[in-house]
Structure 1
Amino acid sequence: MKKPRKCAVTSPPADKVFMPHAAYLMVREAVITDAMIDLLIETVHKIKTKSKRKVVNEIAKDLHRVSGKERLLADIATASIDDPSGRICDVIYPIAGKDKLAAIIKENRAKGAFDRQIYSVMRSSWASHYRRMLPNLLATLEFRSNNSAWRPVLQAMEWLKATLDEGSRVVSPEAVPVEGVIPAKWRGSVRDNKGRVNRISYEICVLTQLRERIRSKEVWVVGADRYRNPDKDLPQDYEKRRSAYYAGLKLTQNARDFTASVRHELERELLLLNDTILEND
């Protein structure tokens, strides 16, 4: 009886073992990073839309819209000119009663304070619930930008990260980036009567601006895939092989020729639509 032959068991080379794992981990890191950014974008959007919906519903309940205000104003102006020395109760109230005038004032004030009301609800929602995610967000995601115009947003993120444990409620406006971070319509709500910046309100401004800049790829995230550095969207040898890439796409490098071809295509499609629109079901 033959003895079984011994087979030598050899381990595969280290590069064949670790390289697939490394590639898998890189892909998974990018997927997870993208998912976190999606969550950030959706959360900020959700805070704003829910706040706006709440404010609109409250205004709709409390406010009776006054129709025909222009005609009413003209009637009041005419009556005032006809009897300039008359009393309001004798000249104005027969045209527009006290209740109607009060409704007009309330509607006007509600319109002027609409953005401030939305911001107030956003601030309350952020402070009471969503704010707890900020430390993990700052510790995990690393934001970058190739556009110097949006550096204030990144500087604001760095300031939030550096002062996370300070616990200060208000800060001096000189201590934080303001231009490019706090929208003009919110500045009255972010600053107090002494000009100091409320930290929680400032956080909302920063995240709102960050969301918009990420969506437009003005700000990108290290380790992400869909939100990666936009410079990497082009081939790395693009400058050297620019003509070859344009030829492969059958595109001209002349901007005027390109726009002319697009215009010609649009005109052709519009003419086709015009000729067939009556036959469309």
Structure 2
Amino acid sequence: MKRQWEPEELIEQFTLMPSELALLPDEITNAAAQNRLGFAILLKFFQVEGRFPQHAGEVPKAITDFIAQQLSLSTEDSRQYKWSSRTMKRHRGQIRAFLGVGPMTQSDQQELKRWLIEEILPLGLSFEALKAQAYGQLQKLKVEPPAAKELERLLRSAARLHERSFCKQIAAELSAKTRASINALLNTESPLEDESSQFRQSQLSYLKTDPGRLGLKSLLKEIEKLQRIHELELPSALFNQAVPKLVQQYRRRASTEPPRELRRHPPAIRYTLVAAFCWQREREIMDDLVTLLIQIIHRLSISAERRVERELIASFKRVNRKETLLLKIATASLKQPEGAVRDVVYPVADPETLQSLIDEQSAGETYHEKVHTRIRASYLHHYRRMVPAILDALSFHSNNEQHQPVVQALAILKRYQESNRRFYDADEALVIEGVLPTNWPELIGETDSDGEVRINRVNYEICVLQALREKLRARAVWVARAGRYGNPEQDLPHDFEAHREVYYQELSQPLEAEAFIQQLQQTMQTELSQLNQGMPKNKGVRIQTRKNGWISGVFAQPLEKV
């Protein structure tokens, strides 16, 4: 049972009804006050949790205080209640009779197992959440739960039965070729790549390795892993009906067990573990490739902007008092309109000052052109070797017609990957709207040897990749068989609507939106109050009065907690 309770929750779930008050031991018959309070606590605890508490420490103090207040008793009385006495056993019997609850029978155990296997275990819940669901189901059936250890044995037995059934189902969907390939992944009879290696590594261990430092070599290594997983020919919808959390559990088991341990499992379990690992690993590698693509595109722009800014700052120094200098030049020119520049202008402004003035005034006009030139140079000399490999390994899609132009433009890029031509064909229907910026003619247009304006391939590729980055980050464009960047319509489990309450309990979130908002507002108010009260006492903070108040200073110490 949770330890923190709001007043509204206490009133709703722990208020004693008249019929329940009438059930309490009567003080006139010499029943002690602690028996009344202990009886009431047992009753309300069972109604909420579906079981009796094992000891007084299981009951939060807020609940004890609330029930004691209703009975006009002291909380000290609950500490004197004997939790392992004949009186408590009699109280439990009276509560069972009042609530219509019976002991668990053999048929109840079988029914609970069946319900767990069919409804709950496929959700991949943690063991504690599984136990909470079992208590709730027994409460609905009006069955008293068994002892904690006995219930745990029952749950683990159901989990084993579910695992056997699930693994048999998955293994049955695998072809004979796929099963043989999975067995080959676990083979450690010979070194994987280097015959001179001192240790033997299975192909599965190779698939577990991290990509390492970003570079062309590590990129090709990840793509090679992806190809090896594709060679298994796992059905694309193998785990689509399984909850992602359940697949993650099998994936973690396969990633932590060495190949020799995996080989010892029964065939169905072995195939399911390795298939779950490879199925999930494929999505992880896909996500890594998409993240790498986004970083490459971002790095192109950021690096180019920084280099251009450094070059511009180094190429000229700012000319001070430009207005005064221009006034002097104009005055001298009007006084001697027939004079030579060397005799009239140079005495006012030397050639170096004039050149600095020209550089400063022209810098703003060519900034974007310089940036684009740097982007083009970086892309051509380094990143263009990596991007085609990534695009070949990924399949892009979109569920919105508005974003289809980017997908269509990527298809054009893939079609021209093997071409060495500088320009696109004149009759090529390039996708412009929804992909390129408004100033696209200046960015991708280039005059050829015949004087005609043609579309430069490199410039068009850069613009398409920049548009792709924004769409990927917003999930407007997604990648097939990826995880984090996969189809957003598949983010929720397929049975989310049927088991909404269970999933919300697992997330520790309320079902009602209003309750979630109130909880969030309460948290924000608490944190802001702490900030408001602690900041003035923090010696490392200064609150200035300019521009509606600035907070400045070094936060040398944490804000005081109140």
**Range class of TM-score, shorter chain:** 0.7 to 0.9
- 2:423 pairs, out of 170, 173, 187, with 170
Q: Could you tell me which residue of structure 2 aligns to residue 204 of structure 1? A: 462
TM-score, reference length from structure 2: 0.40
Deviation at 1:162, TM superposition (A): 2.6
Tell me the amino acid that sits aligned with residue 253 of structure 1: A
Partner of 1:145: 398
| Contact preservation (8 Å) 2:319, 2:356 | no
Which runs of 5 or more structure 1 residues have no equivalent in the other structure? 1-11
Distance 1:74 1:200 in 2: 46
TM-score, length basis structure 1: 0.73
TM-fit CA distance, 1:157: 0.4
What is the CA–CA distance in structure 2 between the aligned matches of 1:187 and 1:14, rounded to whole Å? 61
Give the structure 1 partner of residue 476 of structure 2. 218
2:316 aligned with 1:64, yes or no?
A: yes
1:181 aligns with 2:435: yes
The alignment status of 1:129 with 2:129, answered yes or no, reads: no
Does the alignment pair 1:45 with 2:298? yes
Q: Secondary structure at the match of 2:326?
A: helix
Q: Deviations over 1:80-102 (max 9, x none)?
A: 58996764968876654443232
| Match for residue 360 of structure 2 among 107, 113, 121 | 107
Larger radius of gyration: 2
Encode CA deviations 1:160-192: one digit per residue, 9 max, x unaligned: 123334444223597211233223456413112
Q: Secondary structure at the match of 2:446?
A: coil
Letter in 1 for 2:318: V
Q: Distance in 1 between matches of 2:324 and 2:522?
A: 50
Give per-residue Cα distances to partners, 1:26-81, cap 9 Å, x unaligned: 012112212222332233333333333433333333x222143xx42256358858
Instruction: State the Cα distance separating 1:151 from its structure 2 match.
Output: 2.2
Alpha-carbon separation, structure 1, partners of 2:477 and 2:509:
28
Segment drifting more, 125-134 vs 104-113: 125-134
* Cα distance in 2 between the residues matched to 1:110 and 1:200: 25
Note the alpha carbon deviations across 1:1-25, whole angstroms, 9 max, x for none: xxxxxxxxxxx98644432232121
1:252–1:258 CA contact under 8 A, matched in 2: no
- Pick one of 268, 272, 280 that aligns with 2:529: 268
Rounded to whole Å, the distance in 1 between the matches of 2:268 and 2:409 is 42
- SS, match of residue 23 in structure 1: helix
Matches of 1:259 and 1:109, distance apart in 2: 56
Cα shift at 1:123: 1.3
CA distance in structure 1 between the partners assigned to 2:461 and 2:268 by the alignment: 46
| Pair 279,99 (structure 1): closer, same or farther in 2 beyond 3 Å | closer
> Which position in structure 2 is the counterpart of 1:249?
509
CA separation of 1:73 and 1:258: change in aligned 2, threshold 3 A: farther
Single out whichever of 33-42 and 196-205 deviates more from structure 2: 33-42
8 A contact 2:332–2:345 mirrored in 1: no
Counterpart contact for 2:329–2:349, Cα < 8 Å? no
Match in the other structure for 1:76: 326
SS of residue in 2 equivalent to 1:66: coil
The letter of the residue matching 2:282 is E
> Residues 197 and 30 from structure 1, CA distance in 2 versus in 1: closer, same or farther, beyond 3 angstroms?
same
User: Quick one: structure 1 residues 196 and 96, their matched pair in 2 at CA, closer, same or farther if it must change by over 3 Å?
Assistant: same
Give the secondary-structure state (helix, strand or coil) at the position aligned to 2:478.
strand
Amino acid at match of 2:461: E
- Taking only aligned residues, the RMSD between alpha carbons, in angstroms, comes to 4.2
Unaligned runs of 5+ in 2: 1-264, 542-555, 557-562
Amino acid in structure 2 at the alignment position of 1:66:
R
Cα distance in 2 between the residues matched to 1:218 and 1:239 = 24
Q: What letter is aligned with 1:271? A: N
Task: Return 45-54 or 110-119, whichever deviates more.
Answer: 45-54
Give the Å deviation of 1:199.
0.7
The CA deviation at 1:118 is: 2.0
Quick one: which amino acid aligns to residue 485 of structure 2?
Answer: Y
Q: How many residues are treated as equivalent by the alignment?
A: 268
Among 486, 511, 514, the residue aligned to 1:228: 486
Distance 2:309 2:364 in 1: 10
Q: Distance in 2 between matches of 1:119 and 1:200?
A: 11
Partner of 1:192: 446
The alpha carbon displacement at 1:224 in A equals 1.5
Give the one of 373, 382, 386 matched to 1:120.
Answer: 373
Contact 1:119–1:186 (8 Å) recurs in 2 = no
Q: Percent identity?
A: 31
The Cα shift of 1:213 comes to 2.5
Q: Quick check: 1:181–1:209 contact (8 Å CA) kept in 2? A: yes
Once residues 35 and 174 of structure 1 are traced to their aligned partners in structure 2, the CA distance between those partners, rounded to angstroms, is 33
